[in-house]
Amino acid sequence: MVGKVLRTAAIGCAALVGTGCRAPGGDRAPPVDAGQRIARDDLAAPAGPPHLVARAGEAMGTVVEIKVWTPPDRDPAARAAIGEAFAEIARLEGLMTTWKEDSDIARLNAAAGVAPVAVAKETLECVERSLDFSRRSGGAFDITFYALKGLWKFDHDLEAKLPDAKELKRRLPLIDYRKLEVDRGKSTLFLRERGMKVNLGGIAKGYAVDRATAILRKSGFADAIVQAGGDLMLSGSKSGEPWQAGIRDPRGAANSYFAVAAVKDHAFSTAGDYERFFFLGGKRYHHIIDPKTGWPATRARSVTIYAPDALTADGLDDAVLILGVEEGLKMIEALPGVGAVVVDRDNRVHMSKSLRGIVEITRPPTPGP
């Protein structure tokens, strides 16, 4: 999970929203990725059938795009709602980033082993949900992984270099979600040991996507797409027709997909070893770190989670990639309304029972190291 907050978007699951998209099994329009802006002239028609009003920008270290399906006469209201949604994402980023010294998470890390820190209710909620995913996954998902900060360099400081073995061994015991205390009554968080650090990069984008979606719905725009990097919420529908989503080929081009799904009111999140990585000695090292070993996970190439909300999808994708097919799918099958598509380390595709009839595998994923 090291570096899960992306500096450049590598979309794992994209909404296929172009004209002519239809259910799996036939010709499809090319996907519109989060970084692709839609021409404003195409969105400003004064009359006609419903269409997409869209805006793209950067937040939480990735590309964010919000699209609303609306009649033309509601375009101004749609743009205003989208603006409010972007403002909410920026506000949440200010609370949960590690890049600002006065953020909730930065202050929590600075006070590790010293004293509890008062945080916003949103930060507390996100941390509580994170801890729930940690318990469910047996620690495969652990927001205290940030104790390894600087040992692996996959962000803007990308460096094809392995960490010092002695320093990795010294810091590894500091990764332990059970040593992160939550006091809901006082709205405080406390890291018990000095040197412990939290990073919400593996779940905050999902939380922000859900909050942005809620703002759109409150404003009367229930039919919308909100995407932040690999986290995608497909809210409502497209005039009653399901949205079409594509799952990225982990060894293919950035805009290639090996599976598609027709979706209403569900979220997707994808974690993959192709997002940020380097090769050294012919081996791929990537940013999703197993908290138990301190080394990149090796059991899968990519995991896409289907869930009722983006936070749940975001909180589970890394965990399943780290756990692997057998343990990961066992956890997923026990969760109502949740499914998973896994490309394992041998490039074989596995799908949870809950997604049969929803996701169609259109071709095998591209082979490659």
Partners of 334 in beta bridges: none
- Cross-strand bridge partners of residue 343: 302, 349
Only one residue has tokens 């009649």, namely 71
Percent of the chain scoring above 70 in pLDDT: 87
pTM above 0.75, yes or no: yes
Does the pLDDT at position 26 exceed 70?
no
**Number of neighbouring beta carbons within 10 Å of residue 323:** 25
Per-residue pLDDT at 267? 97
Q: In degrees, to the nearest 5, what angle opens at C-alpha 320 toward C-alphas 229 and 343? A: 75
Task: Show the tokens assigned to 72.
Answer: 């033309």
Render pLDDT for 98-123 as a digit per residue (tens, 0 to 9): 999 999 999 999 999 999 999 999 99
Which CATH number covers residue 63? 3.10.520.10
SS (H, E, C) 234-264: EECCECCECEEEEEECCCCCCCCEEEEEEEC
More confident residue, 22 or 149: 149
Ramachandran angles phi, psi of 364, nearest 5°? -70, 145
Cβ atoms within 10 Å, residue 308: 16
| Owning domain of residue 27 | 1-369
Q: How many domains, in total, are found in the chain?
A: 1
Kindly report, residue by residue over 188-205, the tens digit of the pLDDT: 999 999 999 999 999 999
